[in-house]
Structure 1
Amino acid sequence: MTFFEDGFKKNGLIWLRYIYYALVGCLIGAIVGLAETIFCLVLNGIFKIRVGLEMPLLLLMPFAGLLIVYIFVHYGGKSKEGMNLVFKVDQGKYSTITYLLVPCMAISTWLTHLVGGSVGREGVAVQIGATLSYRIGEKLPFSIPKSMLLETGIAAGFSGLFGTPIAAAFFGLEVLVSGAIRYEGLCSALTGSFMAAYISGLFGIHATQFVLPHVSITFFLMLRVIVLGIVCAFIGMFFSKSLQFMRNNLAKLWPNPYQRIFIMGILCAVLLATLYHGRYCGLGVNLIQAAMTGKTIYPWDWILKLVMTVLVLASGFQGGEVMPLFTIGTCLGYWIGTLLGIPPMFAAALGYAALFAAGTNTLLAPIAIGMEIFGTQYFMPFFIVCAIAFLLNKNHSIYVLQRNLRI
């Protein structure tokens, strides 16, 4: 065999492999995108049901909690581990992901939002994506590394829900192992995330984008942006440590999950009802929109949203942590911006991305989501604030099983 023929064969196989990865990514993205669409449409229907019934539905929180625990105890199996199950499969501790994770997480998240739990929705989204992607991969004619399947599924799940395919692709590549990106999975992660965003977009699920006012980027402004990044780093670390602390201690205080979620459900319902009549219920989109449209943001909005999210999730209710990170970061940035002399709306946008970086221990995904949501014209401040938040968070993450290869 000549040198030319040998080189052609090797290069041809390389390209065929990436074409195969891209096609698999499209397949996963289409299936996951459809699943995310169903999940999101039901969730949107729940939000409509809640209109005008916010306070009465809060009374049902402890009873919804009992139903959630019943679902996981009697039908969930290993699915009760949630995102930890995905990490354990990636790390070789488990061989597969049970299909039960999809309905159990979806139903429990719908129930949590129905009664006004202060949680996000991306937790179940990325878990649905990882589960479907991994199980699809088991049936493919040519094997694909399990890490790539998980990365592609996480990317597709994130993108199908948020409509930010570039940020989703990087999130899938970064979140399982912080500090080391397995770039071989970029091909399937990109095609999967774009396909999922396309499918969900057909049903009206798109990213909510905001137009920022013009801000002159000066040296002194960037110094203030660095300060904002430092603050976000420590608040992100505080959020992740608080969530882990409360989960551990509530489990020790009430080992029985039924007792724990019922008692805490009563406490959370009372707090959510009395704190500005449900201002901190649900996703927190109301607070993000208030910050971005010049409406009232209180200096304590960020800490009250953080406290309520930690209490609700630690009690055993299901949802996600990323959307609350966006909300907390937005309110924190708005408040810090007023103190530092940064235009509040601009600072809120930076906080949105920076707290995401600090809370998830990722870098490229937060930078990308900042540009996809708020525009590319402020790439430099988004890069700086996210880099600072990422570097100074001391490797803490809302994902306790996230592997860390950072120095």
Structure 2
Amino acid sequence: MENKSQTIVLSLKYVLLAILTGVLVGIIDTVFGRGLLTISDFRTGHYLYLIPFLPFAGLLITWLYYHFSETSLKGMTLVFETGQKKREDIPLLLIPLVMSGTWITHLFGGSAGREGVAVQIGAVLSHVLGRRFHLPKDSRVMLITGMAAGFGGLFQTPLTAVFFSMEVIVAGKIQYEALLPALIASYTAAYTSHTLGLEKLYVPLKDTLEISDAGMAVRLIVLGIIFGLTGRLFSFLLAKSKKFFGEKIKNPYFRIGVISIPLALILFLLYNGRYSGLGTNLISAAFSGGMIYSYDWILKLLLTILTLAIGYQGGEVTPLFSIGASLGIVLGGILSISPVHCAALGYAAVFAGATNTLLAPVLIGLEVFGANDMVPFLIVCIFAYLVNGDKSIYGAQEVRK
């Protein structure tokens, strides 16, 4: 009887803390997200004066981390290590450092994302709350709950956030014990951030891709393989680049200060900073009939890798969305499939190929583009996942066979 009572009390704690986590993370996500959008708009209008200072911005970011919390440089690795029970604490200073570092990266034109920041914010906050309320030290439940809140609050795709958080820490194993609190926290964070004015990307696809013949099914499989290999290429090059620059240029100030000079020059010269920032300009162009060049996807891929590999802050997922969407436009013309539908499939499937996850990419396709193409999303994401080869943008991800 006593064990049953303890279980009920623990479950109630998880539910209440999930609500609290969702509200707090939703507020922080809003501050971070709206700040990032304002910064991005400002940079777009003043790129001539800002991108040339990218090397100095890199030096400032490096100094902030080494001065206040060098451990926080590990970023998402800290979250994975905690989830895998390899460490007990995540520095609370990680939150202001990763937020400010990402804002500075975007202000001065670095090519990076934002989801990693939101996930880290949620994970740190939920981990601290779990400790304060004396939850089991070895439990992943609160960590996953915070990750779901961070992702869901920023992107307002709560179902995607829940399953991403449950399947990403250990690839091949879904942490279902965290389902209820993660679901509550994710929806609470999404509702909170939406109420506070953070907008969601929603592009409902009006038509449906008919899979009435073997030819269309084969083309969808080909799409899945190409998108999966693209995600795998991103993961492979990111890991190799980080290792290469870390070994060849050991001084972090010299590394970011010197390599960012040609990076800034390239970003400055290529179409007025077209490849700076999140890549939402490419996503918008893909779904609104704007100009997409055949090489947009590869340039965005390479410049994002270079930005992150030398020490700038930000996530990888939004650039992956833009890479997938712009590549989809190109492949749609080649394979005689609606380019907009291909862009939507690429948006989800490159994410699958780069993160070594399956359910979350399918769900983001449904939450962002509607349920009309559920079967095509499933087919393309499955094959993207299968050709991934267990490669991931998260080097600390554990793979369970």
**TMscore range, shorter length:** over 0.9
1:385 aligned partner = 380
Does residue 26 in structure 1 map to residue 25 in structure 2?
Answer: no
Counterparts of 1:149 and 1:37, CA distance in 2: 21
Query: Any residues of structure 2 matched to 1:223-234 within 5 Å, and which?
Result: 223-234=218-229
Give the length in aligned residue pairs. Answer: 399
1:206 aligned partner = 199
Give the aligned CA root-mean-square deviation in angstroms: 1.6
Q: C-alpha offsets along residues 107-131 of structure 1, whole Å, 9 cap, x if unaligned? A: 1100000001110011111001100
Q: C-alpha offsets along residues 19-78 of structure 1, whole Å, 9 cap, x if unaligned? A: 442222111111111111121122122123224201210011000000011011111231
Counterparts of 1:180 and 1:11, CA distance in 2: 27
Counterpart contact for 1:134–1:146, Cα < 8 Å = no
SS at match of 1:195: helix
Counterparts of 1:63 and 1:203, CA distance in 2: 33
Counterparts of 1:269 and 1:142, CA distance in 2: 46
1:90 aligned partner = 83
- State the Cα distance separating 1:12 from its structure 2 match: 7.5
Does residue 346 in structure 1 map to residue 330 in structure 2?
Answer: no
1:246 aligned partner = 241
- State the Cα distance separating 1:172 from its structure 2 match: 0.8
- State the Cα distance separating 1:277 from its structure 2 match: 1.8
1:122 aligned partner = 115
Output the TM-score relative to the length of structure 2: 0.96
1:404 aligned partner = 399
- State the Cα distance separating 1:336 from its structure 2 match: 1.1
Counterparts of 2:278 and 2:270, CA distance in 1: 16
SS at match of 2:45: coil
Q: Tell me the amino acid that sits aligned with residue 165 of structure 1.
A: P
Counterpart contact for 1:213–1:346, Cα < 8 Å = no
- Comparing 75-84 with 352-361, greater Cα deviation is found at 75-84
Counterparts of 1:353 and 1:209, CA distance in 2: 13
2:144 aligned partner = 151
- Comparing 217-226 with 164-173, greater Cα deviation is found at 217-226
Counterparts of 2:40 and 2:338, CA distance in 1: 32
Does residue 221 in structure 1 map to residue 216 in structure 2?
Answer: yes
SS at match of 1:138: helix
Q: Which of the numbers 255, 260, 281 marks the counterpart of 1:260?
A: 255
Counterpart contact for 1:18–1:187, Cα < 8 Å = no
- Comparing 9-18 with 220-229, greater Cα deviation is found at 9-18
Does residue 318 in structure 1 map to residue 278 in structure 2?
Answer: no
SS at match of 1:342: coil
Output the TM-score relative to the length of structure 1: 0.94
SS at match of 1:152: helix
Does residue 361 in structure 1 map to residue 356 in structure 2?
Answer: yes
Provide structure 2 residue ranges, at least 5 long, that are not aligned to the other structure: none
Counterparts of 1:207 and 1:19, CA distance in 2: 31
SS at match of 2:294: coil
- State the Cα distance separating 1:13 from its structure 2 match: 6.7
- State the Cα distance separating 1:93 from its structure 2 match: 2.4
Counterparts of 2:353 and 2:290, CA distance in 1: 26
- State the Cα distance separating 1:222 from its structure 2 match: 2.3
Does residue 186 in structure 1 map to residue 170 in structure 2?
Answer: no
